[in-house]
Structure 1
Amino acid sequence: MEIGKKIKQHRLQLDLTQEELAQRTELTKGYISQLENDLCSPSIATLEDILHVLGVSLQEFFSEPKHEQVVFTPQDFFLSKNGDGTNTWLIPNSQVKQMEPIILTLPQGGQCEERLPFEGEEVGYVLQGKAEIVTLREKFTANAGDAFSIEGKKQHFIRNAGKGECKILWVTTPSNF
């Protein structure tokens, strides 16, 4: 592991000069330069002092960066039943994230399971067909190209109110599908 290179990366992220880091750690600029060029190795105590100034723990400093998947392809998606329809889970690990996107596909005349009240909200975008959002007191119609937003505290379900299949991009926050 190139300790000096990592120290330099953290120093530059904070927009500190070698001189400023040296002053804050009571080391010399020459020593910081040698360290960053991996010409010497710091003691554990010195490394802890430097990392404290840089705002990084020893554990963070020595841990490998986590690879975060950014793009998901259809091979990553999975399906589950939702009433008469199907959920296509777009982001497989979304349960650990703040938002949970799915595509809800409903056959003609079909409806999803009733959503019980929860703390959060949902937004949807009708990709295809005609959707009816039904709460205990009201019904709302959304056509292809329309979006909707509903508070999680309202018990509701979605019904396909058109001819043919209805597809909705549906996002819940926090994730709870």
Structure 2
Amino acid sequence: MKIGKKIKELRIKKGLTQEELADRCELSKGFISQLERDLTSPSINTLMDILECLGTNIKDFFNDNSDEKIVFKKEDAFEKENPDLKNIISWIVPNAQKNIMEPIIITLDEGGSSEIDAPHDGEEFGYVLSGSIILVVGNKMFKLKKGQCFYFKPNSNHYIKNNGKTKAQILWVSSPPSF
């Protein structure tokens, strides 16, 4: 990894000249210049001092989020079939459990349902992609068809079921992840 370019970007972002950074770190302007051009390497202690002056730390400096995946394809999804409940759950964003929200696509065969989810903090959103479903929230039931959506705070038991004669498919997003 070429750290010089990254240090230069942080320095510019902070609005500092090479001389100002050098003064703050008790280093020479020449050293900062060579460092930014990857002509020299700092000791760990010097790097830690520079990063502290730039308002960051070693962990964050080397944590490269540029490889964060943004676009997901069909082959990235993970599916699980539940023959007892007559459903297939497709996790369309792998490892979404670590995120703030977790989107799935759930396909319900005729007579199929999701598991009953207990009350929890957060929010639930669903969009009916095809077919029709019954949303059960506590003791209330709501009928939804293709093109309709639901949104609620899961303060009571909740689930969806398919009482129709065709498959139903729903995009369901839970925050925080609960699937």
State the TM bucket, normalised to the shorter chain. 0.7 to 0.9
Query: Structure 1 length normalisation: TM-score?
Result: 0.86
1:151 corresponds, among 153, 162, 174, to: 153
* Counterpart residue number, 1:73: 73
Q: List aligned pairs for 1:3-82, cutoff 5 A.
A: 3-61=3-61, 63=62, 65=64, 67-82=67-82
Which residue of structure 1 lines up, in the alignment, with residue 120 of structure 2? 118
Q: 1:166: which partner in 2?
A: 168
Kindly report the root-mean-square deviation, in angstroms, between the aligned alpha carbons of the 2 structures: 2.2
* d(CA) in 1 for partners of 2:37, 2:8: 9
Q: How far has the Cα of 1:19 moved from its partner? A: 3.3
* Deviation, structure 1 residue 54: 1.1
For residues 178 and 142 of structure 2, the distance between their equivalents in structure 1, rounded to whole angstroms, comes to 23
Q: 1 CA distance for matches of 2:81 and 2:96?
A: 17
Q: Distance in 1 between matches of 2:159 and 2:3?
A: 55
**Residue 77 of structure 1: how far off its partner (Å):** 1.1
Look up the match of 1:128.
130
Partner-residue secondary structure (3-state), 1:123: strand
Q: CA deviation at 1:110?
A: 2.3
1:141 & 1:65 partners in 2: Cα distance?
46
Q: Give the paired residue count.
A: 176
SS in 1 for 2:114: coil
Deviation at 1:15?
3.4
1-structure distance, mates of 2:45, 2:116: 59
Residues of 2 paired with 1:173 and 1:50: CA distance?
Answer: 39
User: Structure 2: any 5+ residue segments left out of the alignment?
Assistant: none
Structure 1 gaps, min length 5: none
